[in-house]
Structure 1
């Protein structure tokens, strides 16, 4: 069986597909991922075929103009709309044709909701498709609202379910381009916005969430509509920590690890000062992965600073972890078996921060905008609380036992018969 994965976005939008593609290949199948060129080396380095999609959202985000617009820079709404019209929308339109070429000859298309026209390609090529969002945002349920509407409130069953209507509206800015693609590339008639969100001509589109079913035990309304496999974890057996970092880890007690990945702090200088004070007051060492946070350091005592490092290997050596709450980083933190504090920024991060706290798998979340040194001190001390230590060990064992990749492969093989 040949499976083509269509996805666009950041690392968190690509890595689950790489992990699943590798597992499928290991089980005798063929797999290809079509996405932005920023991930070509990452994908091919994991033994998966790559096909370029014009819309390289990661490159756009990392461009100077992209950083200003999407990372909280002082840009007016008109400039943002102009950038979307002139850069993003044309790239999305070209990517539809890239997806079309990549999908030919496939037995199954697995797509991210951002991969516009995946369902239209499935219809034209008469190839089954499966939707695989990295986060639980697609199917309307009664237990909690769409996190795009609220990350921590519960409006009751009826209103909760209604909040998922926004998913059907997500094509609104691009339906003109989708229909242009349908007409010019597929010779298909126009369709309405959201018409193929859950079905193609009355045939349901399977949805798979690569997340832990244990963390959503109370959700019953996904039954028979959504499959929760468990988190996907890439094999890191060939990864290594930098020798200088290894030396730091071995030279003293376990550190607090801080990583915000690609999330920029609004005031990195102030946050850094508060963080260092809290570390000093609690007697903690730290490994700080600066990423694009904006923080810079100059020889601070008991602190090791690096741009990035393999999360799996580093988190396992931590006393506690402070991170932004992206689903990939959060899953790795759960797998580490140590307490975590989430300081969320945007999108799904506040949802995960609240959910992990409510289930006692993370300390009460903090936000940068009103953060005090005393808040960080309290959180660092909480990482020594037996409750959080024991709960972290417990959920680690649960996450490991779920074997998300194996179950996802079995689900796909059963679906294709």
Structure 2
């Protein structure tokens, strides 16, 4: 952080609060609720979603709406509780020998970047090549810690400044007039582009080729899942605040007021609304980037907000489970591993600081990091009054607000100092509640008072209070000398000190970074990623002869080609973790309606383009030929080349119209009806069988046959199964209910099975055909991987002769 002696906010040791909202507002998927159900209550107005002056979303859910939501949730599938076996999985440290190229994408402040420095160092111990992609501001910070650096757009100082000017999600009129929103959207667009480049570009310093074999990211980087889909590699999210829907506590960015009878459901709803707000502001940027850069289909509006949860992307939360335990409704793909602590930096404190610490009673620490207080003089006066009334000695950090305390024997004005050293020499800490600063204080057993300004800081304040290691958080707008005095007195009580020491002991027994690396390894598809020739290398190619498939790494493929064992043209791209984004369906009626609406919307856009695109071209050509827009006739309007261009644009739009109509009639509508019928049993709590991803005609045909065989069998037998179960549970009344369920199941499952014989192979054929046109991105990935393989072959020791022998044996003996 900046202070009076260091004007550069980069070269410092502060852990500023993570400006999550500065990059994102945040996301909800209303598709989680089965829209075909009609609850037994009258239609209710939607919840009121407002923004507060602390950067959170004020969600007010009325009684009628909450009753409808509760009814719908009771009749939809609930998330399975945590598997007991995952506890033992976390204890075991699986042996991992595959050396990967890992890119870590982090957007935020230094407090966001710092935990991933520790993570990257631990990953390197396993032989991985680690690239940390973040803002250029942190290049030296990353490089000095021995990690490869790749620059992302955006300036954290500007982002923090934006948050100070606009603590809520809705910007002020002053920011709108200044064009802040356009600037922010431009920054996000640049970040998306740079995140993709960080996956495939050579090292900016050395020029060494690099293609990511796996991606680790924090959610505000936004590009993670999409880059992973384009590459076909695993992605793993890690974060310092809750981002996954749960019933245990509300979203940290939501100020929830829920009127329903089930408060836990209100917590769940808060995540959906916050996520929905984010997606509305980012959908066009992300989908435009997917189409133009990654050559991927746009993410459907119903899937975008909850994409990571729908795909069950592995998620690691880097806070102590002793402080916030893993909620029971989080699945086995989510881990809470502990705080990510870096190695304490070397630090030589100034003599006057040491002298002050040793001059009397142990002082307390007060500091707000990178927060720029609106009225620093008033805030400082409040702090000094509280210190005087309590009679404590205090170290007050200048921070970005540049607090300058007058000469006072009981006050020390602190400039640049790492918390790891300082917090070992204070009795208690008062700060803004940034995740990193909170973790550091608790690590050293210091009672904590949190004065939240915006974002997740209030969440950490409430967590600290619930753990008994601090008082209830004091929002900065409500801070007075009187309530700060009470807070400091609470922190100095023996009970608070004891609770803080007990919590510190638990935290220090954990190894958050090591557990996170184990979690990362445990969620990787080891069998798909391992080269069959060089077992410590990741596979990126596959070669198939008959039924035999061999997976090859970059190094192995280059070695075999150099020896003439195979040709480059025989290598096929291997996706170790393919990502398929499908639209979830709940019943055939809403599915067909939604598909029909989407088809008609696409046809309408194409129809408008038949007329509008030639007209826009005419206007563009006229403006070029007659820039002063004089009333004279444009002499070029009769140009045959220009006329042909206008006609071509009209024909292209006509082709889009016919293509969209054909796709809707032959593919989208049959598939929607099939998926709607297949998903219908979920509405009465009947399990629905999962399907394998459909990426080609072959996989589509396999899914069709599997759906047909299981659908026909289950549809017929469900009549007897449901009738028997309901009779056993409810007697004669249950017979009628069970028979009704059985008949619905018979209709839905056999209908889905029959239509799926056509719909699923057609979907596979379409996706296979589409993938054949995505040559620009795939060719670049292919070439980058080949160049990296050649570099490895020229640098690393490889027993080429032995590799050829293993390859020959595999091709002769293996059948997959």
TM-score normalised by L of structure 1: 0.91
Whether the 8 Å contact between 1:69 and 1:80 is mirrored in structure 2 is no
| Residue 149 (str. 1) matches residue 254 (str. 2) | yes
| Residue 31 (str. 1) matches residue 116 (str. 2) | no
CA distance in 2, matches of 1:181, 1:347: 28
Q: Which moved more, 1:244-253 or 1:208-217?
A: 244-253
List aligned pairs for 1:31-70, cutoff 5 A. 31-56=130-155, 58-61=156-159, 66=162, 69-70=165-166
Q: Residue in 2 aligned with 1:163?
A: 270
| Residue 95 (str. 1) matches residue 203 (str. 2) | no
Please, which of 491, 494, 498 is the counterpart of residue 386 of structure 1?
A: 494
Aligned residues: 411
List aligned pairs for 1:118-197, cutoff 5 A. 118-136=224-242, 138-150=243-255, 156-165=263-272, 166-193=274-301, 195=303
List aligned pairs for 1:253-332, cutoff 5 A. 253-332=361-440
Please, which of 99, 107, 128 is the counterpart of residue 213 of structure 2?
A: 107
Q: CA deviation at 1:53?
A: 0.7
SS at match of 1:211: coil
Q: CA deviation at 1:41?
A: 1.6
Please, which of 107, 117, 120 is the counterpart of residue 223 of structure 2?
A: 117
Label 1:379 to 1:152 Cα distance change in 2 as closer, same or farther (>3 A).
Answer: farther
Whether the 8 Å contact between 1:169 and 1:194 is mirrored in structure 2 is no
After superposition, give the CA deviation of every residue in 1:19-78 in whole Å (9 maximum; x if it has no partner): 21122123322211111111112111211111111122x131366xx4763469xx8335
Whether the 8 Å contact between 1:209 and 1:228 is mirrored in structure 2 is yes
Q: CA deviation at 1:379?
A: 2.1
Q: Structure 1 regions of 5+ residues with no counterpart?
A: none
Whether the 8 Å contact between 2:283 and 2:304 is mirrored in structure 1 is no
Whether the 8 Å contact between 1:258 and 1:322 is mirrored in structure 2 is yes
Q: CA deviation at 1:220?
A: 1.1
CA distance in 2, matches of 1:337, 1:202: 38
CA distance in 2, matches of 1:266, 1:256: 24
User: Which structure has greater helix proportion?
Assistant: 2
Q: CA deviation at 1:194?
A: 6.5
Q: Residue in 2 aligned with 1:415?
A: 523
SS at match of 1:216: coil
CA distance in 2, matches of 1:68, 1:145: 24
Q: Which moved more, 1:305-314 or 1:377-386?
A: 377-386
Label 1:383 to 1:134 Cα distance change in 2 as closer, same or farther (>3 A).
Answer: closer
After superposition, give the CA deviation of every residue in 1:322-352 in whole Å (9 maximum; x if it has no partner): 0111111100010111211111111001111
SS at match of 1:215: coil
Q: CA deviation at 1:95?
A: 1.8
Whether the 8 Å contact between 2:256 and 2:270 is mirrored in structure 1 is no
Whether the 8 Å contact between 1:168 and 1:193 is mirrored in structure 2 is no
Whether the 8 Å contact between 1:152 and 1:354 is mirrored in structure 2 is no
| Residue 76 (str. 1) matches residue 175 (str. 2) | no
| Residue 241 (str. 1) matches residue 346 (str. 2) | no
CA distance in 2, matches of 1:47, 1:175: 36
Please, which of 478, 483, 488 is the counterpart of residue 370 of structure 1?
A: 478
TM-score normalised by L of structure 2: 0.48
Q: CA deviation at 1:80?
A: 3.6
Q: Structure 2 regions of 5+ residues with no counterpart?
A: 1-99, 201-210, 527-816
Label 1:87 to 1:169 Cα distance change in 2 as closer, same or farther (>3 A).
Answer: same
CA distance in 1, matches of 2:463, 2:302: 29
Label 1:339 to 1:202 Cα distance change in 2 as closer, same or farther (>3 A).
Answer: closer
CA distance in 2, matches of 1:349, 1:132: 18
CA distance in 2, matches of 1:204, 1:62: 31
Q: CA deviation at 1:266?
A: 3.0
After superposition, give the CA deviation of every residue in 1:111-155 in whole Å (9 maximum; x if it has no partner): 12111222111101111111112211x211111111222279896
CA distance in 2, matches of 1:134, 1:355: 13
CA distance in 2, matches of 1:41, 1:29: 21
After superposition, give the CA deviation of every residue in 1:260-297 in whole Å (9 maximum; x if it has no partner): 11112233222222222222222211111121234222
Label 1:379 to 1:204 Cα distance change in 2 as closer, same or farther (>3 A).
Answer: closer
CA distance in 2, matches of 1:214, 1:414: 22
CA distance in 2, matches of 1:41, 1:163: 39
SS at match of 1:322: strand
SS at match of 2:122: helix
Q: Residue in 2 aligned with 1:228?
A: 336
CA distance in 1, matches of 2:182, 2:342: 36
Q: Residue in 2 aligned with 1:397?
A: 505
After superposition, give the CA deviation of every residue in 1:358-393 in whole Å (9 maximum; x if it has no partner): 221212322332333222222222222111010010
Runs of 4+ in 1 over 6 A off after TM superposition: 151-155
Label 1:68 to 1:133 Cα distance change in 2 as closer, same or farther (>3 A).
Answer: closer
Q: Residue in 1 aligned with 2:801?
A: none
SS at match of 1:130: strand
Whether the 8 Å contact between 2:167 and 2:454 is mirrored in structure 1 is no
Whether the 8 Å contact between 1:323 and 1:341 is mirrored in structure 2 is yes
SS at match of 1:39: helix
Please, which of 9, 20, 42 is the counterpart of residue 119 of structure 2?
A: 20
Q: Which moved more, 1:185-194 or 1:350-359?
A: 185-194
CA distance in 1, matches of 2:462, 2:308: 35
Whether the 8 Å contact between 2:448 and 2:464 is mirrored in structure 1 is no
Whether the 8 Å contact between 1:61 and 1:70 is mirrored in structure 2 is no
